[in-house]
């Protein structure tokens, strides 16, 4: 979602070098009146939820949030949006939760905003839209953000955006959701795993959409090749020594959502990979069809316990929703 105030300010800001292509696209998406209304009109969202028998939605700012702007612009913009989001959640208890927006461009300010979001604002976690200026959360400069997220039990929803290495994705519509988004978010998650970041922050919870951005499909090979590379000169670049196998971090620190993947075969793979207590139902409204997503949850072959876990129990635990 978004607010009219946020879009009015954000669309007037200069974009940092390298993010111009993505923001030209996103501003084009956000401007048409029909789609803008789907982002802003939360009364209409509630009516749609009622028709679908959807009790609750956890809201977040339309990607890529405040990350394409300078720190001087992004920090106050994030604070103002989070104030508005918290007010919406307070106005609709039991119907809306919220994931705060932070500005990784200023990790210290971002850490303070996590503390405020999880404390006085009463929100349920944070969303970070993958890279910030081509930098990733495993890099040392972002340690204050991860320390704050771990300390305040703020799950980090790692949302895709256009890849930082845009060149090979420019053609054929590949920067976005066809391929680039999942490649980017999967890359970011693998950097967190293979860098040793999750040894330093064992209590961190990271949420990935799209049933894990492809990683569950590759976990067995990732473990196999990581072990091989550690035994031999099989890695072209230095590799930190990890306490666990890559798959063990994925099963311990990551939770995945069904957003945009209404496919019973992929869900079955995810269930066998991580189990129902690490999978959450998600819609990705307004980009996906809420009716199709809720029909999928209702009709896909699951046990009662699996449907309960995916439908609400996992989210209640991860996001602290009563």
Known catalytic residue: 19?
A: no
Positive or negative, the CA dihedral 227, 228, 229, 233 is: positive
Residue from 41, 284, 304, 305 carrying the catalytic annotation? 284
Neighbours of 73 (CB within 10 A): 20
φ, ψ dihedrals at 10, nearest 5°: -60, -40
Whose CA is closest to 313, among 248, 250, 255?
255
**Any idea which residues carry the catalytic annotation?**
284
């Amino acid at each position: 979602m978004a607010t009219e105030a946020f879009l009015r300010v954000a669309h007037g800001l200069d974009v940092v070098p390298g993010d111009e292509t993505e923001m030209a696209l996103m501003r084009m998406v956000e401007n048409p009146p029909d789609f803008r209304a789907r982002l802003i009109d939360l009364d209409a969202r509630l009516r749609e939820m009622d028709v679908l028998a959807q009790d609750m939605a956890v809201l977040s700012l339309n990607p890529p949030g405040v990350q394409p702007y300078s720190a001087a612009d992004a920090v106050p913009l994030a604070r103002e949006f989070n104030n508005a989001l918290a007010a919406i959640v307070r106005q609709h208890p039991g119907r809306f939760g919220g994931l705060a927006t932070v500005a990784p461009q200023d990790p210290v300010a971002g850490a303070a905003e996590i503390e405020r979001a999880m404390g006085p604002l009463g929100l349920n976690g944070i969303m970070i839209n993958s890279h910030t200026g081509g930098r990733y959360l495993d890099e040392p400069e972002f340690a204050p953000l991860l320390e704050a997220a771990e300390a305040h039990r703020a799950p980090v929803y790692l949302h895709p955006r256009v890849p930082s290495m845009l060149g090979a994705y420019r053609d054929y519509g590949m920067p976005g959701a066809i391929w680039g988004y999942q490649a980017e978010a999967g890359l970011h998650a693998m950097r967190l795993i293979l860098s040793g970041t999750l040894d330093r922050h064992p209590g961190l919870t990271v949420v990935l959409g799209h049933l894990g951005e492809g990683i569950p499909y590759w976990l067995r090979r990732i473990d196999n090749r990581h072990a091989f590379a550690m035994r031999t000169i099989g890695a072209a670049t230095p590799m930190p020594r990890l306490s666990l196998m890559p798959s063990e971090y994925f099963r311990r620190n990551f939770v995945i959502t069904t957003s945009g993947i209404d496919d019973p075969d992929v869900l079955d793979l995810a269930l066998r990979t991580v189990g129902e207590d690490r999978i959450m139902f998600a819609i990705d409204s307004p980009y996906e069809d809420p009716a199709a997503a809720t029909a999928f949850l209702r009709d896909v072959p699951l046990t009662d316990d699996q449907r309960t876990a995916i439908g609400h129990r996992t989210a209640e635990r991860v996001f602290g929703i009563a």
